[in-house]
A and B are shown apart, each in its own frame.
Chain A
Amino acid sequence: MAVVFEPTKGLTSKPFHYCPGCTHGIIHRIIAESMVELGILENTVSVASVGCTYNSYDYFACDAVQAAHGRAPAVATGIKRSLKDKVVFTYQGDGDLASIGTAEIVHAAARGEKITTFFVNNAVYGMTSGQMAPTTLLGQVTTTSPFGRDASYQGYPINVSELISNLTGAVYVERVCLTDYKNIMNAKKAVKKALQIQMAGLGFTMVEFLSTCPTNWGKEPVEAMEWLKEKMIPQYPLGCFKGADIDVNNLAKKEEA
């Protein structure tokens, strides 16, 4: 009998602990599938961060290092510099990356570290129960912006992909979402492209995923997906901010200077 579907070997058999309607599961799967399809599962070290995915190493079937809050790009720098022929990626949320870890992400990108960052932006702190994140939308109600985020009081959302794409060391930056099949396939394409560019040694790569958090948004899963489309995408437009012209089918390995 022909096998029409099987779980990816890039994930362990451990069931996800994520809430219903959260998109971490989809992101995990497309990263895991990409590792397998690129033949790098045995050759990759992932860096888990702090937040809902602190234990992503329980799910990804590659070697892993857990990092302190915001420090994943620095930890990944240490790993990659000592294991130059391996693939290293960080998996970080918006509190981790866009708040406490801004120095680490900006400088890892500026140095052109040959690592990939998977940045999951759900406009809120997830694990610590729904506080305002740097990415929280204006007007959005959270546990620490109970009257809605007010620009005159709490400032403005940070558009991380736009920010990082301004740095010369960042060679590929794309923002994707996971609202339907087409977008999920597009997201997977971005994941593979980022990893392939890293393997070619061109520089820093990042994929930002607009993601849902029904639990902390106080919404049903379907409702959350609609809210993402209606509210988040206008603030965080989808698209490739850097490296759109890089052709993954024609990547020459960059020789070390």
Chain B
Amino acid sequence: MAQKRVLMKGNEVIAEAAIRAGCRNYFGYPITPQTEVMHYMAKKMVQIGGNFVQAESEVSAINMVYGAAAAGARAMTSSSSPGISLKQEGISYIAGAELPAVVVNIVRAGPGLGGILPAQSDYFQAVKGGGHGDYRNIVIAPASVQELYEMTVEAFNLADKYRMLAMIMGDGTLGQMMEPVAFRDEEPIEKIEKPWAAVGRGGRDFHNTVTSIYIDPDDLEAKNKELSEKYAYIQENEVRYEEIGTDDAEVVLVAYSTCSRICKNVIKQAAEMGIKVGMIRPITLWPFPSKIISEVADKPNVKAFLDVELSQGQMVEDVRLAVLGKKPVHFYGRNGGNLPTQKEILDEIIKIREGGNV
């Protein structure tokens, strides 16, 4: 049962959710705009007897996560884009060693030092690899403070279940905004045994090893095939998305997180003008909701797609792969920390209709 609603900042809710999910190991390094996750942890984690370490770098923070996760503990780090780039080495090792861990990226505009305002320009990095090697991360994109809470808890469960990294991808807007959030009395924590963890042999007559190195090419190929099978299973079973009004929409928007909230208002505004607009909101960016996008592309009422992002067009590549040329896929993006206005998106929709693609 939901308790009373409290007004909290997105970043603080991430931290509170992690603690509620049983995470007792937080390792971080300061960077805007995710700072409040760290501040919250610095106080709360210590008060409840957990571990908070301010690492000397992002590189060290992710390696501390690697160590704690290898020892079987629920562990996390949070950062923003430039810091996430530094963590990619550790993220690849976490994938290779099949360790459960949660990483939060409160995305800011890049490339380079870029700016501190919200962006979605880390999509490629998050879903296509980021670090070296053949691997995937589960990438979840909440769109509200309530979702930040629920999906952070879920990220820990998914990470443990599949022994892999789950990333919460937000942006500066989501991290900094305050919204009411209703906490559950009890979290749906899935307790998963970790007999593989390096915790000291104890009574075992063998020793556990957590490693990502396979010198024999056949062993490494077998490992990669095993990982691929796991990823294929997740692609089948763990896709999350929200679908709005695609049964009679002429134009279907595809947008996630902050962008999807603006798009929801556009849908209402368009309806008032007699234009039927629908939306598919990917909640998991990986696994990507390709199947539903493909099915929607088959609907005769759907004439075109419009992908809206805070980037120069990254997710749109996956939308096009899902649509496979069945319908035109248009793109509208803002960048550098700017958000699109409802009017800008609506104008794009009108342009698409007038352009004869509808």
Chain A residues near B (Cβ < 8 Å): 12, 41-45, 47-48, 54-55, 57, 60-68, 71, 74-83, 86-87, 103-104, 106-107, 111
Query: Lowest 10 A-B CB distances belong to which pairs?
Result: A78-B67, A66-B211, A74-B63, A78-B64, A75-B67, A78-B68, A107-B56, A82-B73, A74-B60, A63-B198
Residues of A within 8 A of B73 (CB): 82
Residue interface bits B205-221, CB-to-A below 8 A is 1, else 0: 00111111101000000
A79 to B201, CA, bound (A): 14
Residues of B within 8 A of A41 (CB): 201
Near A by CB (< 8 A), chain B positions 53-77 give 53, 55-57, 59-61, 63-73, 75
B70 x A75 contact (CB < 8 A): yes
B90 x A42 contact (CB < 8 A): no
Most chain A CB inside 10 Å of its own CB: which residue of B27, B198, B208 = B198
Please give me the residue from chain B that is nearest to A61 by CB atom: B207
A78 x B27 contact (CB < 8 A): yes
A62 x B90 contact (CB < 8 A): no
Asked if B199 CB lies within 8 Å of chain A CBs, one says yes
Q: A55-B213, A68-B89, A74-B55 are in contact. Are A79 and B63 (CB under 8 A)?
A: no
A79 x B198 contact (CB < 8 A): yes
A92 → chain B, closest Cβ, in Å?
A: 13
Residues of B within 8 A of A48 (CB): 211
B67 x A76 contact (CB < 8 A): yes
Residues of A within 8 A of B215 (CB): 55
Asked if B270 CB lies within 8 Å of chain A CBs, one says no
Residues of A within 8 A of B61 (CB): 74
A24 → chain B, closest Cβ, in Å?
A: 17
Q: A78-B25, A78-B27, A79-B70 are in contact. Are A64 and B198 (CB under 8 A)?
A: yes
A86 x B67 contact (CB < 8 A): no
A82 x B24 contact (CB < 8 A): yes
Near A by CB (< 8 A), chain B positions 189-247 give 198-204, 207-213, 215
Q: A66-B212, A71-B90, A103-B56 are in contact. Are A42 and B202 (CB under 8 A)?
A: yes
19 further A-B contacts with Cβ under 8 Å, apart from A66-B211, A81-B25, are: A42-B201, A45-B71, A45-B200, A57-B211, A61-B201, A62-B207, A63-B199, A63-B201, A63-B208, A65-B67, A65-B209, A66-B212, A67-B93, A68-B66, A68-B89, A74-B67, A75-B70, A79-B71, A86-B200
A78 x B70 contact (CB < 8 A): yes
B63 x A104 contact (CB < 8 A): yes
A88 → chain B, closest Cβ, in Å?
A: 9
- Among A12, A57, A61, A75, contact of B66 (Cβ-Cβ < 8 Å): A75
The 16 sampled A-B contact pairs (Cβ below 8 Å) are A42-B203, A45-B199, A62-B201, A66-B210, A66-B212, A67-B63, A71-B66, A74-B55, A74-B63, A77-B64, A78-B27, A78-B75, A82-B68, A82-B75, A86-B199, A103-B56
A77 to B63, CA, bound (A): 9
Residues of A within 8 A of B207 (CB): 12, 57, 60-64
Near A by CB (< 8 A), chain B positions 100-136 give none
Residues of A within 8 A of B65 (CB): 78
B64 x A75 contact (CB < 8 A): yes
A41 to B202, CA, bound (A): 9
B25 x A104 contact (CB < 8 A): no
Most chain A CB inside 10 Å of its own CB: which residue of B60, B90, B204 = B60
Asked if B335 CB lies within 8 Å of chain A CBs, one says no
B211 x A79 contact (CB < 8 A): no
B185 → chain A, closest Cβ, in Å?
A: 27
A83 x B56 contact (CB < 8 A): no
Asked if B178 CB lies within 8 Å of chain A CBs, one says no
A238 → chain B, closest Cβ, in Å?
A: 30
B60 x A71 contact (CB < 8 A): yes
Residues of B within 8 A of A76 (CB): 67
B28 → chain A, closest Cβ, in Å?
A: 12
Residues of B within 8 A of A66 (CB): 97, 209-213
B64 x A81 contact (CB < 8 A): yes
Asked if B51 CB lies within 8 Å of chain A CBs, one says yes
Most chain B CB inside 10 Å of its own CB: which residue of A45, A47, A74, A83 = A74
B209 x A57 contact (CB < 8 A): yes
Residues of B within 8 A of A47 (CB): 67
A64 x B60 contact (CB < 8 A): no
A65 x B198 contact (CB < 8 A): yes
Residues of A within 8 A of B68 (CB): 78-79, 81-82
Residues of A within 8 A of B199 (CB): 45, 63, 83, 86
A42 to B231, CA, bound (A): 35
Residues of B within 8 A of A107 (CB): 55-56, 60
- Among A42, A61, A65, A106, contact of B70 (Cβ-Cβ < 8 Å): A65
A111 → chain B, closest Cβ, in Å?
A: 8
A87 to B60, CA, bound (A): 20
B125 → chain A, closest Cβ, in Å?
A: 19
Residues of A within 8 A of B211 (CB): 48, 55, 57, 64-66
